[in-house]
A and B are shown apart, each in its own frame.
Chain A
């Protein structure tokens, strides 16, 4: 239980910071493609008897670069190609899992995660990835901001836009790997975008948006855990539903607020 709470807090940092960029740059679909295709890497790692997180990490980074390249070079067919890689990655994962000898792994825990099963090793992984993400964002905050705000202008100011875009998608990939530990890969995209989306309704600057999204992430993960504990519900979906409900209420409230 203690690991679960710490895991939720650590994951919220990455999801608040990177999720805010994903929301303002509007690349939720691309991030979804990265998240789902990761199952391929997890399946292969499982087949080879390695920890699934290692496979997830490799697959997430590889798919981030492929999908980034696709979205830069083949803009007309971007959504088709993302869709194909999305489903293809998952299919590879399921095939490898099905061919793995021994007792059958709980596929559900890959897909929907289990925050209660987080080990101390997992926590170390998450903390390490958090540090890496924060460091990169700290170094290149202004480039990432310019890139998400006005790509053409950034290019004219001599920013190597393509390179930063791929670096940014790699951060998305790392974040996805962290969040899979919490809610599993099906629900990742909701936890990546909902705290930032709620936060974006209330604050009007990117750094505040990141801060509030992180706080909200902590609230959603610990709140979801608490709610699921007594009736013995799976925590992942409870966390997501809590976040989703909060988003809906926030949208309604801010609409009325603006009108009033």
Chain B
């Protein structure tokens, strides 16, 4: 096992109070990490630091052995909110191809290698039959799959998904996590979610964020700890890292 993301002693603020404090995180290759925490706890901020969009005030971040800005093209990202309008005239295939930006040549159109990678990604998430459809005609679950395929097309070593199942029903949620589990054989996955009870069967570790960060192996999770970890009672979670106890208030 080798470490793909290594964060040491990290602080971050948007100029005011600290959003993240004293973060240490070491993610191994092919791990499946769930990230939880209340709204405004700094989850998305931490992801943006890992992808090099934000720079920490203090501490070090290392992604695949390099500073984040150099490794961002090896990360497949699926955003929490879809910032685009659903009536944008674009097909599933064109959307998925966008994941090739940064890997393909910077001038001209997409080449055959890009089309092949997009086809493979669409096949992996089982939307190949939708390739010519306009995104506005898709269901919520189908659109989530398109966005996962877009994140996959760059053939990433790490995938980061920010609440991939926020707007879909239970059945689709299970399908999507089954799919991620399959992808996890080759790719390290970080997924932000609120539904920690449900995903505990898929993930290896849970990273709890509320300004500070504590990791729990899923084997420690019980119904009670899940309930407590969520929301205001996070401090009641038992964890075995003695030295981190002080940070976890």
Q: Which A residues have a C-beta under 8 Å from some C-beta of B?
A: 24, 138-143, 145-146, 148-159, 200, 203-206, 208-209
Contact = CB atoms under 8 A, between A and B. Distances in A.
A149 B102 contact: no
B94 A205 contact: yes
Quick one: which of A148, A149, A152, A208 has the most chain B CB within 10 A? A149
A205 B91 contact: yes
B1 interface: no
14 contacts: A138-B108, A139-B108, A142-B104, A149-B84, A152-B79, A153-B150, A156-B53, A157-B154, A158-B73, A159-B101, A200-B89, A205-B91, A205-B134, A208-B89
Contacts, number: 73
Contact of A156 (B51, B91, B110): B51
Contacts of A145: 90, 94, 98
For chain B, the bracket of interface size reads: 20 to 34
A259 to B, nearest CB: 16
B109 A206 contact: no
Contacts of B104: 142
A157 B99 contact: yes
Nearest to A138: B108
Nearest to A139: B107
B19 to A, nearest CB: 19
A149 B72 contact: no
Contact of A141 (B84, B90, B109): B109
A204 B91 CA distance: 8
Given A140-B107, A143-B101, A156 B89 contact: no
Nearest to A160: B106
A36 to B, nearest CB: 26
Contacts of A209: 89
Interface string B78-107: 010011100011110011011101101011
